[in-house]
Each structure stands twice: as structure tokens, then as C-alpha cells.
Structure 1
Amino acid sequence: MLTTTFYNGLEWIDVYKDNSVYRRNERNILSLDIINKYKLNDVVFFDIECTGFNKDIDKIFSISIGKFNDGVFEASVYFNAYDEEKLLREVYSSFNRDNICTFNGMALDIPFLNARFEKYNINKLSYTKHYDFYRMLCPYVKVLGSKGKSLKNFEMLIGISRKDNIDGKECRDKYFEYIKYNASKYIDEIVQHNLEDVLNLPKLFNIVSYISANNLKRDDSILNSQQQYVKRLLNIRKLNGNIVESSVVSQKDARKLIYELKRKNTDLDSINSIITDIKNREKLYK
């Protein structure tokens, strides 16, 4: 039987022993224009908390999931201190939308989740588009005036003030304290941290929209000299050189293209792969 209590405005639903779900709904956290522009009704926002960074040894103990439904953002935190498999099986059905959104998920959340899913013979995540705000916003730190590259740094840019005051490492420490002392106050801090991570993710689309509307260039944007040179090399190969005029093209992109285009035996597949990556990156902001 499900039992319901309330914690700091969160509905706390005990699903079964040692596996709890905390839920909170928020209205008007983002304009309908932005929700519709980026088709956020098709996006699952999520964040994981784990005991370390070794996906083969460490385990996940908390996962926050957020989704838009009729303009309301529904956030849930799934917590299980002892049984990772139950936690993962409980949360798996929540990944039921075409696209996903994370902060540094390409480097941590996705490979870690998939490794743990594989351990328990659960299918890996399947998705079409991934909005990874770490990769999308960090190239614009200077032009945006951010003090750093952390999630909290970008939240501060748009006036977000958190209730929780711990970081990812401290969250792990709280987990081990909970295991040691079995004190519910540590769960409270873990849940609040994991919840705010996912509650604030959609709001960062305000920054993405600002970058797009103002056609901001990356801090490491392609140099004019590189741009002209790459365009000339692409045109020689009868490829569209206009791609390097995009504001998302970096100096690294230019160096990779120059290397491939100047090779004696040009690999068109490699060139097209770089161009496709630029186009896909560009689509994320529009």
C-alpha cells in the first residue's frame, strides 16, 4: 500500500521498503514560447547521484526526473540507499520521451546509467536528441559573463537562488552518513539537492534562447582567417563553405576541417562527419 506524507512541499510516496519517490509540481517556470520552441513536452530532464565515478564499481542511489505536462513541470526524485536494481527498474519507465536534457550527461549520467542498466540486464537509454547544458553553455562563459562552468554558476546568471547548499561531493558524503547513522535528515539534504538539479534545468533554456536570439559567438569562435581558409578549401572540394559562418563553429572545428581537407587522400566521410556535427550542434540552439 502506498503511504503519502509531505516534506518541504514535496509529496513523499513510499513505494516499497527503502525505495521512495518524492514529487513536486511547479507552474510557470518557463514561458510557453520557449517550451514550444524547443518542444520541451518531448524532453525528459534528469540527474543522477552516485557513490563515485567508476561506473563498474560505484552505484546510483538517487535519480531526479522532470517532465512538462500541459505547461506544468513535474519533478520526481527516486531514492534507494540499498537496492540499486530496484531503483533503476522503478525509474526506467520514466525515460519515455524522445529527447533528454542533462548537465554534463554525455560525460557522466548517460555512460554511468547505461553501465548500471547493463549490469541488471535492463535496456540502455534510447533517445533522439540530447540537450547537454554543460556542452551547450560552457563555450559561452565569457560572453555571458558567467563566473564559472558549474550548474550553479549558470543558475546564478538567471537569478536562481537554491535552498540546498551542498555540491555533488557533499551529496555523496551525506549518503555515506545516512548509511552509517540511518538518520533521515541526510535523506532530506540528498533529495533537496537532487530535486533542485532537475527543477532548474528547464530554466537554462532561457540562456539558450538568449544565445540564439542574439546570435552570440562562442568564446573560442572560429577566427576570420580560419573561416576564409576553410571556405576556400571546402569550395575547392565542391562542398558548401557557408557552414563555417555558423556562430557555433569553433577554432577546433576549423583545425579539424583544415587537417582533413589538406590530406593527400581526402576522407570525405570524416569531413561530412565534422560538418554534420556542426549542423546538429546548431539545431540545439534554434
Structure 2
Amino acid sequence: MSEIILGTNQYGKAENRIVRIYRDTPRHEIHDVNVSTCLRGDFSAAYLAGDQSEVLPTDTQKQTAYAYAKEKGLTSIEDYGLALARHFVHDVAPVQGARIEIDEYAWQRAVVDGAEHDHTWIRTGQEVRTAAITVDAEGEWVVGGLKDMTILKSTGSEFADFLTDPYTILEPTHDRVMATSLTAQWRYASTDLDWEATYEGVKTQLVKQFAVVQSLALQQTLFEMGKAVLETYPTIAEVRLAAPNKHHFVYDLSPFGVENHREVFNADDRPYGFIQATVTRDDAPPPGPAWDSYQGWLV
């Protein structure tokens, strides 16, 4: 008869909403983040016997996240996440590994009388910046990224010569709208670099390839995105991309005697094709626990 045992486990404080405002000058700066902390180690006594003696409370993790926003600063989310993870691993004896996952929300300065205002912002609807930091006795890993970046081009996309069977009714096309809500994550091969400049540069490459590639398939576009990022940044080891195909279908206006020359579309949000790809270097260093997530761990 088999024995029932405790498997892999971890615990932490999810989704701490932290806003850090810098007031050092009359022109204030804002950083708005959602921080999840996760601790790893031998916490079996807590699960098997309810023994909390080795458990750092999740409330303590929350308090640390807020305190570090002031004590260590919150400018680059990667540096902030590294500081938190290093603290939990190096300063809390039972903790063998820490995972910090961060979303950063963008704010744009309000324009008043033609000039940017010093302390008023408008929440922008652009992508959410992400970072995932893992620290343990074996090393440190940083994964940068973005999600919810909605992007569309009105031409320059095709889908034809595909496999068909008796259930295929889709017509091939050599001119279609291509749109997606992109999620991209990239694993750094170093923790010593300019996080801000690299993030902006990666985003620039992703948008550029989406725009300029004459796409025969969304799969091809994703590969070209990842390839461009790796060619531009030697400090990045691999890129992972996920893209739902947000379909736009030409709407039939013929019942009204109106010709529609690919100008009016129905944006159909579901069902959708979901395309994923990893683009990597053949000599990339091992990922270790870089992709072992906290939120969504059971998915």
C-alpha cells in the first residue's frame, strides 16, 4: 500500500499593492506596483503538524515589502525584487529560497496648460511591466517581462496554405488584420545591467518586429520578435512569448447595399487561437528555478 507524503510546497503573501512617491524635488515621481513574495524551504512541520516555529508570517513578508519600498527604494522593480529576495534568503534562517513577482502599472503625467504637471498623473492603458526574481543558495535569477500589451496592424499579415480536413471552412487570406494582447518574458543571464534601458529596448524590438514582419503566421511573428531581442541583447538568455489571436472579421454590409472594402470589422474576442513560443540561444545557461512561478503555480 502506498504511503501519503507531502510534496513540493511554498508559501507567501500575494498581491501587496504598493505605491511609492518620491518627493525629493518639486517634480514628484510615482511607482505603482503589485508585489507577491514567496518563501521556499523545509516547512514540512507546518503542513504535517501545524508547527509554525520555522514559519515567517506572511504578514511579516507584507510589512517587509512596504518597508523596503522606502528603505531600499523602488525605482527599478528588478533591483527592488532582488533586495527583498536576498533579505529573506540571507537574513531569515529557515528560508532556503525566495521568489518575488512584481507587476508595475504605468502612469503618465497630466498635461496642464501645455506642460507636464509636477504631481498629477493619468493611469495609462498600456502594458503592465513584470519581473520575477528568484534567489537561493545556488544563485540568482531575474526574469523581466510585460503583459496585456494590446497591439494591432491593419495589413501585413497572411494566413494561407494551411492543413485542411473535412471540417475546415476557413478561407485563406493574404491580407488580414492581426491583433493580439502580448505577454512576453525574458530571462536575464546577469543581474548587473541597466534594467530600465533594457526594458524599453526590448519593448521597442517587440513592437518593431510585429510591425515590419510580413507575417505568414502569428507563430512566425513571435519567433522574429524573440530573435530580434536576443540579437540585440547578449545579456538575455531566452524569451518566452504568448499571444492570443484577436480575430477581426470583415463585416457583411451587403444586406444594406453597402460595399465593405475591408474597412469595417467585427472584433471577435472569443474563441481565439492561442500561440506560444520560446526563443533561446543554443548555449544559454541553465534556467535553474527562474521559471518556477508562485502565482499560477498550480496551473
TM-score (norm 2): 0.23
TM-score (norm 1): 0.24
Greater share of residues in helix: 1
Greater share of residues in strand: 2
**Structure having the higher Rg:** 2
Could you say which structure has the greater relative contact order, defined with CA pairs below 8 angstroms and 6 or more residues apart? 1
